[in-house]
């Protein structure tokens, strides 16, 4: 059976060259980078090279501004809890948005519920955008931190980070952005954006799972989130995940290679897929912003059907996709992101996310456009909601 | 995640569709929670002669709907009323734990359809 | 040059079969285990198999008692912070020991300094053992948690966990043990030990770095330490590190294979090494307990010399080892563990840890016994402390 | 971690050992902090004619001791007094940041040895 992977927003295939770069660190250069001996020193060299590769990918000023973590979630936790706890004497108010990934949202909720912080969740418009002026108005005396994501993992909307960070800087508020979906998939320049902290995760751009990084601008003080050894200049305890870090470094290097060409390719595939769906299927809702959008993200709601049924039907045709449907997550409410953009529960249940990478090819897009209308039709024929309308 | 039986019923749902002039009919669930099942029955000599379902919901919702129609067909109303969500799930070789709570309404829909039939009979009677 | 790796307490070589088990999950079964589609379901199957392998290794009652983490440090942080924060209404006192790994020690200090808990650090005797009666006396009304390590990472001493856990259970105190050095290297049975939580880390027993697990007995309530997605039954957010988890599972399976034979082999090598050092070098201090000891751990202090110089000299002969010397860690104080056993700063600075695994061979032990006396002598000749005595 | 020069001086320390009847001698550091350096000098016509060190400490401590003796040998006392811990570290192509604070005492030891020589001269004088 044909197999088409269009769930790159969930995770990506590890690039074969990434695995190749990692392999010697399993079997030969397996020392602990904190060790004095040769096995350790060689491993350390690899780790520091990887740090420079990540630095270059996001144009950080200094490799020491990169802290390696176990992924996007840990980076967000470290940025938010680590900063909030270290600076809580300056204030206890945090600003975020209603459409953040749970790695940010649940972290903010934890600070609110368990640690005495107050959090503002900025609403978004129908495209999923926060409003810069509204953000500015929300900043108060007590505000110490703002955390607003760069590219939305569900609907692909890219927030005006540069403008938001500028407002924050003017008001003396430290600004973190969860750029897990963006980094490696589009140009991201921390100096140009003017952010203080930025989270990234290797497995979203053909690196290995279980490794990520947090950029922390020099001078920004944090508590560690992993309390332990003196690794990462005492900012993150635990034996270095050498193989993962080498993989992240290699993925960062590969991502920089011809980035603009890859972005162009993916954007073209995305737009073809969007057009193909819009032209062939009725009663649909396009989600996210049409232009300020991650290169690989396509998201629609199909009225009268439920997302998980759609995913299963696509899977039977070999197409791997995802949905903000409640039933895929085992919760009762559908995606908080889709609800925040103003969709009803009923419509939000019927969402489909197709996420592309530069590994995808045009014929795969054609295949999806060929198969999807029949599947939607079959599921609608089964739906009591559709019948009642026709 | 799902058993082979669930996937079989999801892929080839039995008795799916609408019915002209049903003797009893009911809908359970609501679109907010993401699951709606509609069941229609024809009754002859106190037996379920024909049955049809429509479902808006996840794979488990579709499969349980399909399975309950297959199990109910040909049974007397009293027998059909003995079917529970649990026996339906068991007939499908079980459902994932997260799916037990919301998508498992098919027997409820069937019972309501039978109830609807009985109420109509009473009115007629 | 001959290369002899005797720093298995720091980290181990990944077993080639472990890497082999991981590889398909990089390039083929690369889906997100939380995804509905085939790529995801296959990955999930692998993750759940790995969970059972870990369950079996430590004889947990149910695979769902295993939470996958990014390593030993995270497991300790999750156990201690996660439990303390979730149960702080019951009490705010925690008991630990003075010889814990920093993953426990710094976590307890954080709770003390930043979150209003009080912590008792139990002293140890000259072998590094805590006293069960003393532990019992320290338990008070307000005590909610005890966290005492199983095998010490520096001096190898194995604590009487079963006795300690029994005391804790009788007093209604939840008991966590950091068994990072023990698991995979000696028999560990959570049901027999009677512990409520137990931390382990794959890279200490020929698994990959950057992955570990926390055993949490059914019924013990924790807050997550990684706030994010619904993974691990909402106890640990973040995309599953599929490859790492598969590697941990495979390492757990391999560790169970002929465990007692491997323990016997390593213990024999250890005892030969200890004997060889004692017979060939004067003015030394044996550290740790002679019998209640990790199978692979050898630790001595050599008077009049400093540990890092010793490591560098060994490295020049191809021998990889470690030390609790301050100079290897960039701090000023030598190992808190050695100081806790009553050694002076001066002596503690001259420590050497040689840690074996079943990959080591007898000829390697012979090689170390051959090389070490000359190195010690050369360094002593250089030492102003040695001269002043001779 | 360490530069090649550091490792060279660590592996083949120059002027290591004790000295009979030194003209000046000093020890800096203490065993608690993990670093002790001892330097002994012979002086002739205001120049350092011979020099010896002994060191208890890490690789950086050994290498800086060795290097400072090499740099000082043959210099006038005044020239030798110009040597700083910084110039010694630079001559070794630098030290790792964590090593800058504690192991870098070699020039201090040299200066104290010269001071000891001067004090002895004064007493004799
Ligand atoms: C926007 C965003 N933030 C954070 C994360 C968490 O990253 P990870 O799964 O590597 O922890 C993800 C993906 O899962 C994401 O899409
Ligand atoms: C006893 C002990 N606990 C915890 C840890 C931390 O484990 P990890 O490095 O996997 O975070 C280690 C090793 O580093 C250890 O030896």
The CATH number for C342's domain is: 3.90.1150.10
Rounded to whole angstroms, how far apart are CA atoms A327 and A283?
Answer: 22
Give the residue, by CA position, lying nearest to ligand 2 atom 14.
A239
When comparing pLDDT for D36 and C331, which is higher?
Answer: D36
Rounded distance from Cα A361 to ligand 1 centre (Å): 25
Q: Which residues of B touch C34 (CB under 8 A)?
A: none
Pair C283, C243 in one domain: no
Rounded distance from Cα C241 to ligand 1 centre (Å): 12
Pair A272, A239 in one domain: no
Pair C301, C359 in one domain: yes
Q: What pTM value is reported for the model? A: 0.96
Residues D89, D94, D99, D100: is their CA dihedral positive or negative?
positive
Range of the domain at A108: 16-256
Residue after which a domain boundary falls, among C214, C239, C256: C256
- Chain A contact for D98, CB < 8 A? no
Pair C189, C283 in one domain: no
- Write out pLDDT tens, residues C22-45: 999 999 999 999 999 999 999 999
Q: Which residues of D touch C306 (CB under 8 A)?
A: 34-35, 56-58, 61
pLDDT of residue D52: 98
Rounded to whole angstroms, how far apart are CA atoms D38 and D26?
Answer: 6
Residue A327 has pLDDT above 80, yes or no: no
Q: Which residues of B touch A334 (CB under 8 A)?
A: 34
Pair C251, C329 in one domain: no
Partners of residue A383 on adjacent β-strands: none
Query: What average pLDDT does this structure show over A100-104?
Result: 97
What subunits touch chain C, counting only 3 or more CB pairs under 8 A?
A, B, D
Rounded to whole angstroms, how far apart are CA atoms A253 and A56?
Answer: 8
Determine whether the shortest distance from the Cβ of A181 to ligand 1 is under 6 A: yes
- Write out pLDDT tens, residues B67-122: 999 999 999 999 999 999 999 999 999 998 878 766 678 999 999 999 999 999 99
- Write out pLDDT tens, residues C96-122: 999 999 999 999 999 999 999 999 999
So what's the ipTM on this one? 0.95
pLDDT of residue C389: 47
* Percent of all residues in chain A with a pLDDT value above 70, rounded to a whole number: 97
Question: Hey, are the CB atoms on D33 and C332 less than 8 Å from each other?
Answer: yes
Residue after which a domain boundary falls, among C227, C256, C285: C256
Which atom of ligand 2 is least distant from the CA of C9?
16
- Write out pLDDT tens, residues B27-75: 998 877 778 999 999 999 999 999 999 999 999 999 999 999 999 999 9
Work out the pLDDT band at C279, boundaries 50, 70, 90: very high
What distance in Å separates residue D1's CA from the closest CA in chain A?
A: 7
Domains of chain D: 4-119 (3.90.1010.10)
Query: What average pLDDT does this structure show over A347-367?
Result: 97
- Chain C contact for A8, CB < 8 A? no
What distance in Å separates residue C235's CA from the closest CA in chain D?
A: 38
Q: What's the burial of C30, exposed, middle or buried (CB within 10 Å: 0-12/13-18/19+)?
A: buried
Q: Is C80 in a helix, a strand, or coil?
A: helix
Q: Which residues of A touch C13 (CB under 8 A)?
A: 26-27, 30
Number of domains in chain A: 2
Pair A232, A90 in one domain: yes
Pair C239, C272 in one domain: no
What subunits touch chain B, counting only 3 or more CB pairs under 8 A?
A, C
Give the residue, by CA position, lying nearest to ligand 1 atom 7.
A72
- Chain B contact for C102, CB < 8 A? no
Q: What CATH number does residue A214 fall under?
A: 3.40.640.10
Apex A27 CA angle, A22 and A30, nearest 5: 80
Residue A389 has pLDDT above 60, yes or no: no
Give chain C's length: 390
Q: Which residues of B touch C44 (CB under 8 A)?
A: 1
User: Best substitution site from A204, A206, A241 to test ligand 1's pocket, by max atoms within 8 Å of Cβ?
Assistant: A204
Question: Hey, are the CB atoms on C382 and D31 less than 8 Å from each other?
Answer: no
What distance in Å separates residue A164's CA from the closest CA in chain C?
A: 24
Determine whether the shortest distance from the Cβ of A72 to ligand 1 is under 6 A: yes
Across chain C, what does the average pLDDT equal?
96
Rounded distance from Cα A204 to ligand 1 centre (Å): 8
Which atom of ligand 1 is least distant from the CA of A76?
4
Residues 110 through 149 of chain C touching chain A, CB cutoff 8 Å:
110, 114
Among B99-113, C206-220, C259-273, D105-119, the minimum mean pLDDT is found in B99-113
Rounded distance from Cα A112 to ligand 1 centre (Å): 21
Apex C304 CA angle, C299 and C306, nearest 5: 60
Which site among A14, A74, A239, A329 would you substitute to test the C interface, given the most C Cβ atoms closer than 10 Å to its Cβ?
A239
pLDDT of residue A390: 45
Residue after which a domain boundary falls, among A215, A236, A256: A256
What distance in Å separates residue A137's CA from the closest CA in chain C?
A: 28
C-D CB pairs within 8 A amount to 75
* CA proximity to A144, closest of A222, A217, A218, A76: A222
Work out the pLDDT band at C390, boundaries 50, 70, 90: very low
When comparing pLDDT for D85 and C200, which is higher?
Answer: C200
- Active-site residues of C, by number, are 327
- Chain A contact for C153, CB < 8 A? no
Pair C55, C137 in one domain: yes
Rounded distance from Cα B86 to ligand 1 centre (Å): 37
Chains B and D touch (3+ CB pairs under 8 A): no
Alpha helices in chain C, H assignment, sequence order: 16-27, 38-58, 72-77, 83-86, 102-114, 132-138, 161-170, 190-193, 231-234, 242-256, 259-280, 307-316, 326-329, 336-340, 345-348, 362-382, 384-389
* Chain A residue whose CA is closest to B13: A382
Determine whether the shortest distance from the Cβ of A180 to ligand 1 is under 6 A: yes
Question: Hey, are the CB atoms on C40 and A211 less than 8 Å from each other?
Answer: no
Pair A242, A352 in one domain: no
Q: Which residues of B touch A382 (CB under 8 A)?
A: 13, 16, 54-56, 62
Residue D32 has pLDDT above 80, yes or no: no
- Chain C contact for D100, CB < 8 A? no
Pair C141, C262 in one domain: no
> In Å, how far are A76, D13, D71 from D6, measured between CA atoms?
40, 10, 14
Pair C237, C329 in one domain: no
Query: What average pLDDT does this structure show over C190-212?
Result: 98
> What is the distance in angstroms between the CA of the first residue and the CA of the last residue of chain D?
48
Question: Hey, are the CB atoms on C309 and D62 less than 8 Å from each other?
Answer: yes
What distance in Å separates residue A41's CA from the closest CA in chain D?
A: 7
Question: Hey, are the CB atoms on C36 and A312 less than 8 Å from each other?
Answer: yes
For residue C23, report the phi and psi dihedrals to the nearest 5 degrees: -50, -50
Pair A263, A122 in one domain: no
Work out the pLDDT band at A162, boundaries 50, 70, 90: very high
């Amino acid at each position: 059976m044909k197999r088409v992977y269009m769930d790159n927003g969930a995770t990506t295939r590890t690039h074969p060259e990434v695995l190749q770069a990692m392999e010697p660190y399993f079997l030969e250069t397996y020392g602990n980078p904190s060790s004095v001996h040769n096995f350790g020193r060689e491993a350390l060299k690899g780790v520091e090279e990887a740090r420079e590769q990540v630095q270059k990918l996001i144009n950080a000023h200094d490799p020491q501004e990169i802290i390696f973590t176990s992924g996007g979630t840990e980076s967000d936790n470290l940025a938010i809890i680590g900063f909030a706890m270290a600076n809580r004497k300056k204030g206890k108010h945090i600003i975020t948005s209603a459409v953040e990934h749970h790695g940010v949202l649940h972290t903010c909720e934890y600070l609110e519920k368990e640690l005495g912080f107050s959090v503002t969740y900025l609403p978004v418009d129908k495209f999923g955008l926060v409003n810069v002026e509204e953000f500015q108005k929300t900043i108060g005396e007590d505000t110490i931190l703002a955390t607003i994501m760069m590219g939305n993992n569900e609907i692909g909307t890219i927030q005006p980070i540069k403008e938001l960070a500028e407002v924050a800087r003017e008001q003396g508020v430290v600004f973190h952005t969860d750029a897990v979906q963006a980094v490696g998939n589009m140009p991201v320049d921390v100096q140009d954006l003017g952010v203080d902290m930025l989270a990234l995760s290797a497995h979203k751009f053909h690196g290995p799972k279980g490794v990520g990084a947090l950029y922390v601008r020099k001078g920004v003080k944090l508590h560690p989130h992993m309390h332990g050894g003196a690794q990462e200049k005492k900012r993150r305890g635990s034996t270095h995940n050498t193989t993962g870090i080498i993989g992240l470094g290699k993925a960062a290097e590969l991502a920089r290679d011809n980035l603009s060409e890859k972005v162009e390719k993916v954007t073209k595939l995305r737009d073809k897929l969007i057009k193909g769906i819009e032209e062939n299927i009725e009663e649909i809702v396009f989600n996210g912003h049409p232009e300020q959008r991650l290169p690989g993200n396509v998201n629609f709601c199909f009225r009268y059907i439920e997302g998980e049924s759609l995913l299963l039907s696509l899977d039977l045709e070999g197409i791997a996709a995802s949905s903000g449907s409640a039933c895929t997550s085992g919760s009762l409410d559908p995606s908080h992101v889709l609800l925040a953009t103003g969709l009803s529960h009923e419509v939000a249940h019927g969402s489909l996310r197709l996420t592309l990478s530069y590994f995808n090819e045009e014929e795969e897009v054609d295949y999806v456009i060929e198969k999807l209308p029949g599947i939607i039709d079959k599921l609608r024929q089964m739906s009591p909601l559709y019948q009642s309308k026709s | 995640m799902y058993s082979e039986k669930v996937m079989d019923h999801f892929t080839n749902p039995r008795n799916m569709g609408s019915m002209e002039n049903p003797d009893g009919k009911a809908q359970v669930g609501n679109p907010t929670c993401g699951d709606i099942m509609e069941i229609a029955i024809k009754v002859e000599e106190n037996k379920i002669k024909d049955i049809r379902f429509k479902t808006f919901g996840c794979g488990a919702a579709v499969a349980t709907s399909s399975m309950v129609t297959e199990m109910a067909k040909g049974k007397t109303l009293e027998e059909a009323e003995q079917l529970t969500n649990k026996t339906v799930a068991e007939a499908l070789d079980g459902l994932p734990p997260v799916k037990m709570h919301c998508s498992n309404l098919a027997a409820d829909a069937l019972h309501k359809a039978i109830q609807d039939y009985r109420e109509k009979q009473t009115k007629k009677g």
